[in-house]
Amino acid sequence: MALYDSAFVVFDDSVEKIFGTSPSLELLHENAEYPFAHEAGVFVQEDNSLFITSNQFTDPRTELRRIQITRVLLANDGKNVECEEINPDHVPMANGGVNYKDGVLFCAQGTQDRPGGLAFMASRPPYTSHLMLSSFHGRDFNSVNDVVIHSDGSIWFTDPIYGFEQGFRPKPRLPCQVYRFDPARNSVRVIADGFGDQMDIVNLLLHRNLKSVADYTSSYAFDIVNYSGQPFLTNRRVFAMADTGIPDGIKCDVHGNVYSGCGDGINIWSAGGVLIGKIVIDGGVANFCFGREGTIYILNEHRLWRAQLASSTKGALLGI
């Protein structure tokens, strides 16, 4: 078994291929004023940048609760970063996000007087934005939370009632549900329910025929089957259980391993649900994303970290 820095924990020798011979973890940026590094984590390879969303904080200028989108420009030398605060017009209370066409698709949770939904924002200035979808056949979504793009072009997202529970959204008009939106047909349908208030769809395993959903401390796998030309989720089963905190931001690498932000850092499971390793970070990890050739950008509330793993470790979403 290889010996690593204490941040890289080995539970199974198979994780050594993921870590490589000399994995490293470094702090890229810290913001003591507010928790700028909470959700999204969208890497744009064209200009080596990263889009992230903050946790809620009280704006000292208005004394109102808000969320801030930040664009992080990553220097080629890997030593410095530049942070730009972005305030697009049509992305109220942004949360999760994903690469989409020539920009970023954000989950806009909405406010008491503004609906949320799926919001597209260009990845270059002036960061134009528009709300792609805000309701399910006339009923406003609750507080759209996380999103992923299927290989067929459809958009899968979750809509829990967090916003109402946290006081910035009206009383829910819809249950906690998972949706599938087909932009080509402009159609939206419910794809899953029954997860309770803690429901959070986290990522589509694009290279396999599975779906993972975080529900309290466990994540679940489903088969995607086709009926009458439409996908349905069947055969729900436990994939894995996090031993510390609630799993969030689940993603896969190109080899089928599953990664999740947890209360003690990033947990890594094999495709069969066996915990094989961890990247331990004090305070836990809310979300993260893969960059190029084994790089992972890790969101730790007030801190943004970068882990460098083996160059063969690539995220399934971008495959770089």
pLDDT for 6 equals 92
Q: How far apart are CA 226 and CA 309, in angstroms?
A: 37
- Average pLDDT over every residue of 182-208: 64
Residue with token string 């793009």: 149
Number of domains in the chain: 1
Whether 21 is covered by a domain: the verdict is no
Whether 79 is covered by a domain: the verdict is yes
pLDDT for 211 equals 38
pLDDT for 206 equals 30
Whether 185 is covered by a domain: the verdict is yes
* DSSP annotation string for 109-159: ---SSS--EEEEEESSTT--EEEEE-EETTEEPS----EEE-TTS-EEEEE
pLDDT for 186 equals 95
**Highest mean pLDDT range out of 56-65, 196-205, 302-311?**
302-311
Residue 89 has pLDDT above 90, yes or no: yes
Whether 236 is covered by a domain: the verdict is no
Whether 203 is covered by a domain: the verdict is no
pLDDT for 63 equals 92
Query: In this prediction, what percent of the chain has a pLDDT beyond 70?
Result: 92
Domain CATH number, residue 138: 2.120.10.30
Backbone φ, ψ for residue 229 (5° rounding): 80, 10
**Higher pLDDT residue, 213 or 25?**
25
* Low-confidence winner among 92-96, 154-158, 223-227 (lowest mean pLDDT): 223-227
The Cβ-side half-sphere exposure at 246, using a 13 Å CA radius, reads 11
User: Coil, strand, or helix at residue 66?
Assistant: strand
Whether 240 is covered by a domain: the verdict is no
pTM: 0.92
- Average pLDDT over every residue of 298-319: 96
Whether 123 is covered by a domain: the verdict is yes
- Average pLDDT over every residue of 91-115: 96
Residue 199 has pLDDT above 50, yes or no: no
Distances (CA, A) of 186 to 106, 143, 163, 172: 18, 20, 25, 23
Nearest one of 207, 203, 220, 215 to 289, comparing CA atoms: 203
pLDDT bucket at 215, cuts 50 / 70 / 90: very low
Q: How far apart are CA 193 and CA 191, in angstroms?
A: 7
Whether 77 is covered by a domain: the verdict is yes
Q: How far apart are CA 22 and CA 310, in angstroms?
A: 8
Backbone φ, ψ for residue 82 (5° rounding): -120, 130
What's the first-to-final CA gap in the chain, in angstroms? 28
- Average pLDDT over every residue of 143-161: 92
| Residue-range definition of the domain harbouring residue 147 | 35-197
